[in-house]
Amino acid sequence: MMKHVLVTGGAGFIGSNFVRYLLRVEPDVQIINLDALTYAGSLENLQGLPHERHVFVHGNITDRTLVTELFEKYQIDTVVHFAAESHVDRSILGPAPFIETNIVGTFTLLDVAREKWAGRQDVRFHHVSTDEVYGTLAPDAPPFSETTPYDPRSPYSASKASSDHLVRAYWHTYGLPVSLTNCSNNYGPYQFPEKLIPLMILNALQGRPLPVYGDGQQIRDWLYVEDHCEGIYRVLRSGQEGETYNIGGGNQPTNLEIVQRICALLDELAPAGAPHDRLITFVQDRPGHDRRYAMDTRKMQTELGWQPHESLESGLRRTVQWYLEHLDWVAAVTRKSDFKDWLTANYDQRERKQQ
């Protein structure tokens, strides 16, 4: 059964893409979108959605009374849990909200679901998590699989690991019907401009330095956001209860290569008279910076027939084009947040490094 879906964090980057995706593929589903509208969440991400099928609720996942009311009022049968503090650099400068939202918030949702769904099997609590819980890989190590032991190394990944453990505990202890997805780095429309790809696009457009941490040789596995949304949907529809599925793009560029590709795309799509890669600036590394992530996605492919549609090349092109066409969105979401303060706090103290 999937009729009344509580999406948490649905005004953020992946959550808002998922809301659009689900409304498109499931014409009869009603979505209740619970979001606290932190700096990372915005109603700008939800413009034009049909009111009768998408109800937005401004509130916090740690508010047990509110979550209970929503379960009762809307007869929630499915939870898709995105709400989180999601930026590693912010977790280094201020970990407290990560503990509160990612751990206490997930606990609150699980515990209300346990109470309201007691004995029911026609329900699902889906938890959206990250590859960062697995830690960091040596250059020649095999990719993370669903059975790789957890080894989180930042306050962000440690708080997500804690939430994953709680979700599994509710499955084993109380039989709550859960599923989990651990996904690699997403990119695409509506990503808040603090993350690597949109930050680089927007800094480059403004002629500002492109701050590459350390030597820029760190490796992430990049996935276009709609491919992630489809993966979550397949797990909701056909995934096994109590199971975890790894989702990733199979792309293994270094951070420096990503920035260079963005520069090349901007040279083509928004020429500035001089190559954008002249702006690349190596800066002091992130403390505890994970060196490499890679995902083994064979379980998603063989059990659920999922694979990404977008290549890194096509996805990056779509993303750069989207930001070029949505500079008004960028202005709106950065105006309402503390974005300037964030740039000062995270970047002004970083020393520049010669490479």
The residue count for the chain: 355
Q: Within positions 253 to 282, which residues make up the interface with ligand TYD, using CB under 6 A?
A: 255
Backbone dihedral region for residue 144 (phi beyond 0: left; psi -120 to 50: alpha; all else: beta): beta
SS3 call for 342: helix
Give residues with Cβ within 8 angstroms of 328, minimum separation 6.
none
In the residue annotation, 277 being an active-site residue is answered as: no
SS3 call for 283: strand
Question: Residue number with the shortest CB distance to ligand NAD?
Answer: 12
241 or 338: CB nearest ligand TYD: 338
Out of 212, 236, 247, 280, point to the residue binding ligand TYD (CB under 6 A): 212
Binding site for ligand NAD (CB under 6 A): 8-9, 11-15, 34-38, 40-41, 60-62, 82-86, 101, 105, 128-130, 160, 183, 185-186, 192
> Near ligand TYD by CB under 6 A, which window of 58-66, 99-107, 174-182, 207-215?
207-215
218 binds, among ligand TYD, ligand NAD, none (CB under 5 to 8 A by kind): ligand TYD
In the residue annotation, 132 being an active-site residue is answered as: yes
Closest approach, Cβ 183 to ligand NAD, in A, equals: 4
Q: At what angle do helices 255-269 and 312-325 cross, to 10 degrees?
A: 50
| Cα(322)–Cα(239) distance, integer angstroms | 32
Alpha helices, DSSP H only, in the chain? 13-25, 64-74, 88-93, 96-98, 106-116, 155-174, 196-205, 225-238, 255-269, 298-304, 312-325, 327-335, 339-347
Identify which of 13, 155, 39 has the alpha carbon closest to the alpha carbon of residue 98.
155
Identify which of 2, 50, 51, 57 has the alpha carbon closest to the alpha carbon of residue 26.
2
Q: Does 339 bind ligand TYD (CB under 6 A)?
A: no
| Cα(355)–Cα(338) distance, integer angstroms | 32
211 binds, among ligand NAD, ligand TYD, none (CB under 5 to 8 A by kind): ligand TYD
Q: Which of 21, 39, 134, 156 is catalytic?
A: 156
77 or 194: CB nearest ligand TYD: 194
Out of 61, 76, 79, 88, point to the residue binding ligand TYD (CB under 6 A): 88
Q: Which of 131, 164, 230, 290 is catalytic?
A: 131
Applying CB under 6 A, the residues found at the interface with ligand TYD are 87-88, 185, 195-196, 199, 211-213, 218, 220, 255, 286
